[in-house]
Amino acid sequence: MTKSERLLNLLILLLVQRHYISKQRIRETVPPYAEATNEAFERMFERDKDELRALGVPVEVASIDAFFDEPGYRIRPDDFALPGIDLTADEAAVIGLATRVWQHAGLAAHTSDALAKLTAAGVDVDRTRLDLASPVVTVQDPQFDAFWEASLDRVRVKFDYQRSGSAEVTTRTLEPWGVVSYSGRWYVVGRDADRDEERMFRLSRVRSAVKRVGKGGAYEIPPGTDLREITRRLAPAPNTHHGSVLVRSGTCLGMRRHATGEESGVTGPDGTTGWDRLTVAYGTVSSFAEEVMSYGADACVEAPDEVRDLVVRRLAGALGEPTGSGKGPA
Amino acid sequence: MSGGAKEQVGRLLALVPLIQRRGAMAVDEAAAALGVAPDQLVKDLRVLIYCGWPGWLPGDLIEVDLDALDGEGVIRITNADYLRAPLRLSPAEASAMIVALRTLRESADGATLASLDSVLAKLEGAAEDGRVATGRVDVHLPRGQREAAALRARLGQAITEGRQVRLTYYVPSRDEETVRTVDPLELVDAQGSAYLQAWCHVADNRRLFRMDRVRAAEVLDAPAQAHPEVPPLDLRDTLFQPAADNALVTLLLRPEARWVAEYYPVEATRETGDGGLEVDLYVADPRWLTRLLLRLSPSAAVVRPQELTESFTAAARDALRLYS
């Protein structure tokens, strides 16, 4: 029996049992196990079980004899089998599209494997039916796999991390809950075991390899943890405020694109005409001030005062005049 | 999927139910449906004939019709009732698939959106059995993703068909919209942004265009010219390769401006000892640097060269004068 045959036969043996089957019976039944020495059998059987589990096969273990502590094994057909999924042709077509999304070898392979199983379960994927321009998701951080797999296995990890705006590199211990992406940047979310708090770490700021610490299933992910919600927190503050900026005609094209109002031919701060007044929606005072400052003498905030004051204070600071604090984006 | 015994068993756990469901299937058709090479699939089938009900007497074994397989290239499998359904999705598979579908959802509309919602509900329902946690990875695409996906599709098609494109492109350093004809070469994702690599007929050279700065892209009837004399670039490494005439600039960054060293390619960084950072970077366009320094004010300064200190100071003074 080749190894593939042995694995599949073990799987079928455990799957067709109505009750747990003892390790001894398994050994007697499967020829390669029966022919092996005790020690070789133990090793082979452990490895085979692990490989089946790694495939996702739910191998259950229970004690079947109160006196001799004999373990028994089985695979419940209901846990093993993918439930039948009825999909319409359009639903099946979008599943086909999903395989184009990941630009990451591991995730792309997992998506294709999932598609193969769904196909085997009767989903008929017509890849030509839909011609939606599908977005692609890229992963370039080498630590992505380590964090993602640790979150699937629920294994603690240790790594060195450099916070934004800090020169210091510190070693962190994390219970990863998952990996999220916002605007093309990847973050790992979890419980910081040293600080006992939820934390998010940007993958590009990890300064070491990711080391797994201890066993799988070492922690529970808090019930109700919603990565969607956590990802949303990475979004910039919504643009709920409105400001007014004077801009020179023909300039500030970037800001004009998200202006909600425009009045042309107004008198500018230098007393000349040839300026336009833009109404701009913004999220935070500092982000608005920074956008205006980047246009130099082509843009001048009219309102609100707090943005105007911040621009004056920060520009004066750059010129060595008395200043408050200027803060860059986090 | 390839390689070892585990992977082979994994493939068989999809193949056996598929064939039983369809009754009989051509090798090529089954291989395409499962994303497996046809010769690999035939090798997998040969494992199957030694597997079956414990005891493994002739009547216990799974039967593969070898005459049909070798003769007509058709697969028939019998005596494998216990493998009628495929193995359920692993957490990794369910997670990868569901997040891919959610990502599609962000750029879909109309009927496609409705299909995505219903298929997500069904898959999430199927994955939900307590042990399969699907939410281990999540993606939130930047705003304007739908337009970006459409642009990407259009440019991808222009590359495939070998046609020129008229690009309207915003150049932030000059605060200018430019129009140029390009021969599109390749779409590249790097450093969190998508780029079009193209031969620009205005610059008469290869250029990278950041997709979120493309304001319009019109695919022309004119065929794109070939540029065989231009060696292909490995863009991941050379995306920001400095041109020979770029100036090397040294900046002093306060702690709150350290992020500059993560966002822009820097040649060297030196700690200043008080939490700040001194960085060397190549600057192609001094106007870009002036805009960056204005934005960072007062958390960054030019150490050298002197003329860039002066141009920045002049720009800051002109801007400040508007408020006096």
Shared domain for A178 and A223, answered yes or no, is yes
Shared domain for A153 and A226, answered yes or no, is yes
Shared domain for A308 and A294, answered yes or no, is yes
Rounded distance between C-alpha atoms, residue A152 and residue A246, angstroms = 52
Identify whether A330 is part of a domain: no
Q: How many CA atoms lie within 13 A of B54 on its CB side?
A: 17
3-state secondary structure (DSSP) of residue A197: strand
Q: Cβ B256–A90 below 8 Å, yes or no? A: no
Q: Is B210 on the interface with A (CB under 8 A)?
A: no
Q: Cβ B140–A232 below 8 Å, yes or no? A: yes
CATH of the domain at A73: 1.10.10
| Interchain CB contacts (distance < 8 Å): A and B | 373
pLDDT, tens only, B214-227: 989 999 999 988 87
Chain A residue numbers touching B175 (CB-CB < 8 A) = 251-254, 295, 298
pLDDT at A223: 82
* Residue with more model confidence, B230 or B33: B33
Shared domain for A174 and A210, answered yes or no, is yes
Q: What is the DSSP letter of A122?
A: T
Q: Is B297 on the interface with A (CB under 8 A)?
A: yes
Q: What are phi and psi of B169, to 5 degrees?
A: -130, 130
Residue A148 burial (CB count, 10 A): 24
Q: Cβ B87–A329 below 8 Å, yes or no? A: no
Please enumerate in sequence order all residues whose Cβ is within 8 A of that of B94, keeping only pairs 6 or more positions apart, or say none.
A114, B123, B127, B132, B134
Q: Judging by DSSP bridges, how do beta strands B176-190 and A197-202 pair with one another?
A: unpaired
Chain A residue numbers touching B107 (CB-CB < 8 A) = 132-135
Identify whether A326 is part of a domain: no
pLDDT in tens, chain A (330 residues): 899 999 999 999 999 988 899 999 999 999 999 999 999 999 999 999 999 988 889 999 988 776 667 889 999 998 898 887 888 888 888 888 888 888 777 888 888 889 999 989 888 877 666 655 667 777 778 888 899 889 888 999 999 998 877 778 899 999 999 888 887 788 999 999 999 998 899 998 898 999 999 988 889 888 878 887 877 777 777 788 999 999 999 999 889 988 999 999 899 998 899 999 999 999 889 999 999 999 999 999 999 999 999 999 999 999 987 644 444 443
Q: Is A159 on the interface with B (CB under 8 A)?
A: no
Q: Cβ A254–B21 below 8 Å, yes or no? A: no
Cβ-based burial of A19 (10 A; exposed 0-12, middle 13-18, buried ≥19): exposed
Please enumerate in sequence order all residues whose Cβ is within 8 A of that of A299, keeping only pairs 6 or more positions apart, or say none.
A245, A246, A247, A248, A251, A252, A255, A292, B319
Shared domain for A151 and A218, answered yes or no, is yes
Q: Is B10 on the interface with A (CB under 8 A)?
A: yes
CB B88 within 8 A of CB B14: no
CB A98 within 8 A of CB B104: yes
pLDDT at A311: 96
- At A163, list the tokens: 């916070």
Q: Judging by DSSP bridges, how do beta strands A259-266 and B25-26 pair with one another?
A: unpaired
pLDDT at B135: 59
For chain B, how big is the Rg over CA atoms in Å?
29
pLDDT at B244: 57
pLDDT at B68: 92
CB A136 within 8 A of CB A150: no
CATH of the domain at A298: 3.30.70
Instruction: Kindly report the three-state secondary structure assignment for every residue of B188-237.
Output: EEECCEEEEEEEECCCCEEEEEEHHHEEEEEEEEEECCCCCCCCCCCHHH
Q: What is the DSSP letter of B87?
A: B
Identify whether A52 is part of a domain: yes
Q: What is the DSSP letter of B141?
A: P
Rounded distance between C-alpha atoms, residue A221 and residue A165, angstroms = 30
pLDDT at B51: 93
Q: Which of A232, A250, A266 is the last residue of a domain?
A: A232
Residue B34: which of A119, A134, A312 has the nearest Cβ?
A119
Please enumerate in sequence order all residues whose Cβ is within 8 A of that of A63, keeping only pairs 6 or more positions apart, or say none.
A69, A70, A71, A72
Q: Judging by DSSP bridges, how do beta strands A211-213 and A241-248 pair with one another?
A: unpaired
Cβ-based burial of B116 (10 A; exposed 0-12, middle 13-18, buried ≥19): buried
Q: Cβ A227–B106 below 8 Å, yes or no? A: no
Identify whether A325 is part of a domain: no
Q: Among the listed ranges A119-128, B14-23, B84-93, B171-180, which one has the minimum average pLDDT value?
A: A119-128
A181 CA to chain B: closest CA distance, Å? 5
Q: Is A324 on the interface with B (CB under 8 A)?
A: no
Q: Cβ B104–A97 below 8 Å, yes or no? A: yes
Rounded distance between C-alpha atoms, residue B273 and residue A167, angstroms = 9
CB B40 within 8 A of CB B2: yes
Shared domain for A38 and A102, answered yes or no, is no
Q: Is B136 on the interface with A (CB under 8 A)?
A: yes
Q: Cβ A103–B189 below 8 Å, yes or no? A: yes
Asked whether the predicted pLDDT for residue B2 surpasses 70, the reply is no
* pLDDT, average across residues B195-199: 87
Shared domain for A171 and A113, answered yes or no, is no
Q: Cβ A82–B316 below 8 Å, yes or no? A: no
3-state secondary structure (DSSP) of residue A261: strand
Q: What are phi and psi of B222, to 5 degrees?
A: -60, 135
pLDDT, tens only, B256-313: 898 888 778 788 899 988 888 999 988 878 888 999 999 999 999 999 999 999 999 9
Q: Cβ A319–B317 below 8 Å, yes or no? A: yes
Rounded distance between C-alpha atoms, residue B138 and residue A231, angstroms = 7
N-term to C-term CA, chain A: 60
Shared domain for A224 and A273, answered yes or no, is no
Asked whether the predicted pLDDT for residue B19 surpasses 90, the reply is yes
Q: How many domains does chain A have?
A: 4
Q: Is B176 on the interface with A (CB under 8 A)?
A: yes
- 3-state SS of chain A: helix, strand, coil percent to 5? 35, 25, 35
Asked whether the predicted pLDDT for residue B131 surpasses 70, the reply is no
Shared domain for A246 and A311, answered yes or no, is yes
Nearest-CA neighbor of B249 among B306, B320, B208, B195? Answer: B306
What single string gives the DSSP state of each residue in A10-71?
HHHHHHS-SS-EEHHHHHHHSHHHHHS-HHHHHHHHHHHHHHHHHHT---EEEEEETTTTEE
Residue B236 binned pLDDT confidence (cut-offs 50, 70, 90):
very low
Question: ipTM exceeding 0.90?
Answer: no
Q: How many CA atoms lie within 13 A of B140 on its CB side?
A: 18
Most A CBs within 10 A among B6, B124, B214, hence the mutation to make, goes to B6
Shared domain for A100 and A155, answered yes or no, is no
H-helix or E-strand spanning residue A236? none
CB A132 within 8 A of CB B108: yes
Identify whether A168 is part of a domain: yes
CATH of the domain at A202: 2.30.30
Scanning A189-248 for CB atoms below 8 A from B yields 204-205, 221, 225-228, 230-232, 234-235
Per-range mean pLDDT, top range of A95-99, A236-240, B146-150, B179-183: B179-183
Shared domain for A165 and A207, answered yes or no, is yes
Q: Cβ B85–A177 below 8 Å, yes or no? A: no
Helix and strand numbers (H, E) in chain B are 11, 14
Identify whether A76 is part of a domain: yes
Chain A residue numbers touching B90 (CB-CB < 8 A) = 55-56, 110, 113
Identify whether A251 is part of a domain: yes
Shared domain for A117 and A155, answered yes or no, is no
Identify whether A324 is part of a domain: no
**A182 lies in which domain range?**
144-232
Q: Per the omega criterion (within 30 degrees of 0), is the bond before A304 cis?
A: yes
Rounded distance between C-alpha atoms, residue A278 and residue A260, angstroms = 7
Asked whether the predicted pLDDT for residue B243 surpasses 60, the reply is no
In percent, how much of chain B has pLDDT > 70? 87
pLDDT at B127: 64
pLDDT at B1: 41
